[in-house]
A = this chain, B = another copy of it.
Amino acid sequence: MITHPDFPAEPWDVRESGLDLGVLAQSESVFALSNGHIGLRGNLDEGEPHALPGTYLNSVFEFRPLPYAEAGYGYPDSGQTVINVTNGKLIRLLVEDEPFDVRYGELVAHERVLSLRDGVLRRTAQWISPSGHGVHVSTTRLVSFTQRATAAIEYEVRPVDGPLHLVLQSELVANEQLPAMSDDPRAAAVLEAPLVPEQHSAHDAHAHLVHSTRQSGRRVGAAMDHLVDCPADVQTFIECTENTARFTLITRLAAGQSLRLVKFLAYGWSSQRSIPGISAQVEAALALARASGWEGLLAEQRAYLDDYWARADVDLEGDQEVQQAVRFALFQVLQASARAERRPIPAKGLTGPGYDGHAFWDTESFVLPVLTYTTPHAAADALRWRHLTLRAARKRARQLTLGGAAFPWRTINGDECSGYWPAGTAAFHINADIADAAIRLADATGDDRFERETGLALLVETARLWTSLGFHHPEGSFRIDGVTGPDEYSALADNNVYTNLMAQRNLRGAVAAARRHPDAAAAMGVDDEEIAAWRRAADEMFVPYDEKLEVHPQAEEFTDHEVWDFAHTRADQYPLLLHFPYFQLYRKQVVKQADLVMALYKCGDAFTADEKARDFAYYEPLTVRDSSLSACVQAVLAAEVGHLDLGYDYLGEAARMDLDDLEHNTGDGLHIASLAGAWIALVAGFGGMRDSGGSLAFAPRLPEPLTRLTFSVMWRGRRLCVNVTGAEATYSLAGGDPLELTHHGRAFALAVGEPVTHPIPSIKIGSRPSQPPGRAPARRWPSPSDSGA
């Protein structure tokens, strides 16, 4: 059994009160700091022990060949892997000749606290060296949200008794030695020594290194400067070689004295700028950080987060674990995206090398729904990144003999990196997911300029993809054959319901956007005939239905397939893809992750309430949740059809994915989409928020243990607050013009200063659907582990 750190359920902190080296990888991911541009894994300051050292810059990657046993036309030749850049987190300590290393001597106390309000990682340790000398170490680390290129560390050490000789070494290290990765195909490939030295320089307490990647042409600069604060004499010197810069401090402290070091770090990269250009860039960032000072950086960080929490916080009563988890989740969503600025939001954010650092449909389908209503500028930036990659997507579409743009299944720079096309290229729904995110963002912000400059092109090019991908069957329907839906345990099926409905939404969104921006659309070559073709394809879109079973098949034929032999599948055979061939998975009724159920959520208007209930009940016993992208969607649908307790269990799974390491791979990086799913489960699930129709609808209803749920959403510049209890929901508006909303299907108007309260209607609940044996979500309530009920 894999253990995980026990983080006590505190509302605003994630606290680890001991140090379990067996779960170091997970804690490095959980305690990672990032602003979406720089990512620092939660490695110990002294570098070792580590599970996986990690310092990442968004979009700094290296190419690697993609090999094929049997190659085929259109297979990508090269992949991309996020690389570990110059490590600036390192501060090593020598206590009377003995390196501070928690594996030796005695670690009397060790605590790490991630403060979700302050946006810093604090660490305190008390250690007795093998020769018996005790020190207190306390450090604080931040990656600045306000100064994109900047990170900083405050490091304080004092003797328990005194006097003690102490040496500190603060370093920049490029091309760190990395441990070998696991055999799990999902774990990232490792590239050794990816950085070619180009420049190194040091003086006083200051140093910088410039490197470039070999193939991808990324030039990376890293710089550090230091402030020293010590009552005793301190000798310092600095040294620098191609791959290592080291600032050394030597002092002798009496009892009660302490040495405090503030380390400012700056990072920059470019595929265009020169060595002097990059050097100057990181020096400028460093100058700004020094000018702000440590306290200034802390204050800016807190102010940035105060502002965020005012918009984004989800406050609830009745479950402290979920409370903590959803705030942790919202913090990580922010860390992954805040300053990504027209760069991708990878599936793991910048918390680890999992999935090679690639971005998937996770971004648009899970992360952007949260950002759209809490941090819309970050959602817009993520879509602007997609817009920047349109050229690559158009080229890929041509290669696939398709029209418009075919966005990659997985990528860093916009080129397809999937080496297994049935679960990559064939998953064309990603194009509709991107279009959908653009539609929802435009609806939520009313940002006409964004739609004209960014959304329209995304919609037009993806609409063109769909009309070339599907065809009008002689009998009248528009069919999309041979594609792969969200469920990765099926592939290459005809008329996947999720794909077809999302394509329909995509086509209609393109029609509407082209009508709203006729000049811009005309400049893209859109004419009335093309718009009519989009409309016709949307109107005739085929949605298969199994008349006998009275459910929607995930795709044609699905419900005729044999049901997976769950009874003879052992618990240790999950995830199934590591123990069974795709061949068997694809041809049977077994669902890795919400697919048809995802359609019930994202395209809910296409289904009646009865259909939703029947469909949900049909797919529950088939869905094994071998993907972290499933539980939150199941939570939403469970809540909608009235299985509130089941939805509550799924909420718990989505929210605690990484804090409880439920998939045993948090060490590779956090599951950013599942974390976003915690918000989705609460707001779309128990808040019942839907936004498909261009306006907001709510149908809140709480599971019994949650006695209150309060959340805000940003809608066209206004903050709408929703406060739900078991009996009623109160809506209030923080500013702007009145708003038309819906509560459980009934429209109402909401004006500033005039909160509206509606009762929550009761719902008739059928029997709780079952899941495959052993695959039910952990029961949260009633449950002995329930800390909040």
Residues of A within 8 A of B (CB): 66-76, 79, 185, 399-401, 418-426, 471, 473, 479, 481-483, 491-492, 494, 556-557, 560-562, 577-584, 586-588
Contacts and interface: CB of A to CB of B under 8 A. Distances in A.
Given A66-B69, A583-B400, A583-B421, A560 B479 contact: yes
A584 B481 CA distance: 10
3 pairs of A and B residues whose beta carbons are closest in the complex: A69-B419, A482-B587, A67-B67
A557 B494 CA distance: 8
B185 A492 contact: no
A400 B66 contact: no
Nearest to A578: B73
Contact of A481 (B424, B479, B491, B562): B562
A581 B72 contact: yes
Contacts of A420: 68-70, 72
Contacts of A74: 580-581, 583
Contact of A584 (B400, B424, B584, B588): B400
Contact of A79 (B69, B399, B425): B69
A423 B586 CA distance: 14
Contacts of A482: 561, 583, 586-588
Given A68-B419, A586-B482, A580 B492 contact: no
Given A479-B560, A562-B479, A492 B494 contact: no
A66 B419 CA distance: 14
A755 B401 CA distance: 60
Taking the full assembly, how many copies of this chain does it contain? 2
Nearest to A69: B419
Contacts of A580: 73-74, 401
Contacts of A76: 69
A587 B419 CA distance: 20
A67 B70 contact: no
15 contacts: A67-B67, A68-B68, A68-B419, A70-B418, A73-B581, A73-B582, A74-B581, A74-B583, A421-B581, A421-B583, A425-B581, A479-B560, A479-B561, A481-B557, A494-B557
A617 B570 CA distance: 50
Contacts of A419: 68-70
Most chain B CB within 10 A, of A73, A423, A577, A579, is at: A73
Nearest to A399: B581
Given A69-B418, A70-B420, A481-B557, 7 more contacts: A72-B420, A73-B582, A422-B422, A422-B492, A481-B561, A494-B560, A494-B587
Contacts of A418: 69-70
Nearest to A67: B67
Nearest to A482: B587
A494 to B, nearest CB: 5
Contact of A581 (B400, B556, B561): B400
Contacts of A72: 185, 420, 577, 581-582
A473 B494 CA distance: 20
A185 B70 contact: yes
A401 B584 contact: yes
Nearest to A568: B401
A492 B555 CA distance: 14
A581 B483 CA distance: 13
Nearest to A402: B584
A433 B103 CA distance: 62
A557 B557 contact: yes
Contacts of A562: 471, 479, 481
Nearest to A473: B560
B73 A492 contact: no
Chain B CB count within 10 A is highest, among A66, A425, A492, for A492
A423 B422 CA distance: 12
A481 B587 contact: yes
Contacts of A422: 422, 492
Contacts of A586: 482, 492
A68 B71 contact: no
A560 B423 CA distance: 23
A685 B422 CA distance: 39
Contacts of A579: 73
Most chain B C-beta atoms within 10 Å of own C-beta, residue among A583, A586, A587: A583
Contacts of A67: 67-69
Contacts of A421: 581-583
A565 to B, nearest CB: 9
Nearest to A77: B69
A585 B75 CA distance: 14
A57 to B, nearest CB: 25
A426 B578 CA distance: 18
Nearest to A424: B70
Contacts of A426: 583
A39 B641 CA distance: 70
A612 to B, nearest CB: 24
Most B CB atoms within 10 A — which of A73, A419, A482?
Answer: A482
A540 B259 CA distance: 83
A557 B560 contact: no
A678 to B, nearest CB: 29
Contacts of A71: 185
Contacts of A582: 72-73, 421
A738 to B, nearest CB: 49
Contacts of A79: 69
Contacts of A483: 587
A560 B471 CA distance: 11
A478 to B, nearest CB: 11
A578 B494 CA distance: 24
A420 B581 CA distance: 12
A374 to B, nearest CB: 34
Most buried by B among A473, A483, A582: A582
Nearest to A577: B73
A694 B421 CA distance: 44
A561 B482 CA distance: 9
Nearest to A561: B481
A754 B567 CA distance: 66
A71 to B, nearest CB: 5
Contacts of A577: 72-73
Counting chain B CB atoms within 10 Å of each CB, the highest count among A491, A557, A588 belongs to A557
Contacts of A75: 69
B492 A491 contact: yes
A418 B561 CA distance: 26
Contact of A557 (B68, B399, B471, B556): B556
Contacts of A557: 481, 494, 556-557
A455 to B, nearest CB: 27
Given A492-B491, A556-B557, A560-B473, A425 B69 contact: no
A418 B421 CA distance: 17
A143 to B, nearest CB: 31
